């Protein structure tokens, strides 16, 4: 069921984002009088196709990793005399710029609409209350302690851990002082000055929140099994979801973290689990499997996940706005994500952020499945984020992408004549090399995460 859900979520995610992107190109092209020959969602062999009243062929193809809009163009087609005014290449340069830019712009507008919908519907967030502070961390040095609620970072109000994470992510690589405002229950807010010195974060291992030294408050997590891998050691030994682990080899396991530590220290070693199930106490022998980390250390695991506890209402906050305010907030959130995405790309090229953080289709599929399982709110939020990423990626000045074509048209607008075919051909080769290299790195990272 998990695999089917992941596949369906991936198809919906890619289908929605590719369709609106290509629809942007299509809609503006038709408004500019360009004849559209084909509107394809996906590549490769057509699965379904039909002719519209506008004589455009609409196609759903077999490989759902993109799409395209094929327009009439004298450089690629033999154009009948009566259709010459409908060819893309005959249109003024400003119209061609509008047609090419429309796809990415629609992706960004979709993100605004998605965030607007979430803000009108109402989103439930976790209050950014600190559970612990890591000794010696930047926030510990600044005097921040457990139990405080973060209210603002550098003057920007934050009302959830997600917003704290986004504000801190923008500071990666910085050497500067930042101001964090926080308060304890019943006390007035206090400002803390946190010093960053070339602050680096391995985003593949931790979030900016934990890297700065915060450990978010969480409810007590009891050692009750919530998920089991079908081929995991726990399921093979006969453990079931809902089982409460009492002891391992007679050693008390009263928290999930304590149970995890016992299992991690027991790679390939048989252990007797004392389990409470439906009011009865059973004993089950489980031999944790082993896995080796990048640093060479070996730890045990049994293929089981925890039963997620309910968050107390006092630690949750609902964010809801009226339609107009929600639109303003949607634009603001989209703008924040655009700036963060561009800044992350810059930091990746300068080495501040590792290229290990590049993700490909496997990671997208996994996150799509996980967010769909988490509910409508998480899935729409993921769609908005991915739509922004797709829009920004396509606007990069790389030949093969929309941004590369826009670069050529801007040069044409300034020079008064098109960029030569030779230059465009060379640019295409460079763009293909760069794009395929990035795709190879992203796929390698995906496989490494598996």
Q: Just list the catalytic residues.
A: 22
Selection from 115, 166, 16, 160 nearest residue 380 by Cα: 115
| Contact present, 35 and 52 (Cβ < 8 Å) | no
Structure tokens at 73: 């163009």
Structure tokens at 361: 């289709």
| Contact present, 167 and 156 (Cβ < 8 Å) | yes
| Contact present, 161 and 208 (Cβ < 8 Å) | no
Structure tokens at 258: 């304590």
How many angstroms separate the CA atoms of 306 and 243, rounded? 10
CA dihedral of 441, 443, 448, 450, whole degrees rounded to 10: 160
- Mapped onto helix, strand or coil, the DSSP state of residue 70 is strand
How many angstroms separate the CA atoms of 336 and 191, rounded? 24
How many angstroms separate the CA atoms of 338 and 389, rounded? 8
Taking residue 345's Cβ as centre, other Cβ atoms within 10 Å add up to 15
How many angstroms separate the CA atoms of 192 and 142, rounded? 6
């Amino acid at each position: 069921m998990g695999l089917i859900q992941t596949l369906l979520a991936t198809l919906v995610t890619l289908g929605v984002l590719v369709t609106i992107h290509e629809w942007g190109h299509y809609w503006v092209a038709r408004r500019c009088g360009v004849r559209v020959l084909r509107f394809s969602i996906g590549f490769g062999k057509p699965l379904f196709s039909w002719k519209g009243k506008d004589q455009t062929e609409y196609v759903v193809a077999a490989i759902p990793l993109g799409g395209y809009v094929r327009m009439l163009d004298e450089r690629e087609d033999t154009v009948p005399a009566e259709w010459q005014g409908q060819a893309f290449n005959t249109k003024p340069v400003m119209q061609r710029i509008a047609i090419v830019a429309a796809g990415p712009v629609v992706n960004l507008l979709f993100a605004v609409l998605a965030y607007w919908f979430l803000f009108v519907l109402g989103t439930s967030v976790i209050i950014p209350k600190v559970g612990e502070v890591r000794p010696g961390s930047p926030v510990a040095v600044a005097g921040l302690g457990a139990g405080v609620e973060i209210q603002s970072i550098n003057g920007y109000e934050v009302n959830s851990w997600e917003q704290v994470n986004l504000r801190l992510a923008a500071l990666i690589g910085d050497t500067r002082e930042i101001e964090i405002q926080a308060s304890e229950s019943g006390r007035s807010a206090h400002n803390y000055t946190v010093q960053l010195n070339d602050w680096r974060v391995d985003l593949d291992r931790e979030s900016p929140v934990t890297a700065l030294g915060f450990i978010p408050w969480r409810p007590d997590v009891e050692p009750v099994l919530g998920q089991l891998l079908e081929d995991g050691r726990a399921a093979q030994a006969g453990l079931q979801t809902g089982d409460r682990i009492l002891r391992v080899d007679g050693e008390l396991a009263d928290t999930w973290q304590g149970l995890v530590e016992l299992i991690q220290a027991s790679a390939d070693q048989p252990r007797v689990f004392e389990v409470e199930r439906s009011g009865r106490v059973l004993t089950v022998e489980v031999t944790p499997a082993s896995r080796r980390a990048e640093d060479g250390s070996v730890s045990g695991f049994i293929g089981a996940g925890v039963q997620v506890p309910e968050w107390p209402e006092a630690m949750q906050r609902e964010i809801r706005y009226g339609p107009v305010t929600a639109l303003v907030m949607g634009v603001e959130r989209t703008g924040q994500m655009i700036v963060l995405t561009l800044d992350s790309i810059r930091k990746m090229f300068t080495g501040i952020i590792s290229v290990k953080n590049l993700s490909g289709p496997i990671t997208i599929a996994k996150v799509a499945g996980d967010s769909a399982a988490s509910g409508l709110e998480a899935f729409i939020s993921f769609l908005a984020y991915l739509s922004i990423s797709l829009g920004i990626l396509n606007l990069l000045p790389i030949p093969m992408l929309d941004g590369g074509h826009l670069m050529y048209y801007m040069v044409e607008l300034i020079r008064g004549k098109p960029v030569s075919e030779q230059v465009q051909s060379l640019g295409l080769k460079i763009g293909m090399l760069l794009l395929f290299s990035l795709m190879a790195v992203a796929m390698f990272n995906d496989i490494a995460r598996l």
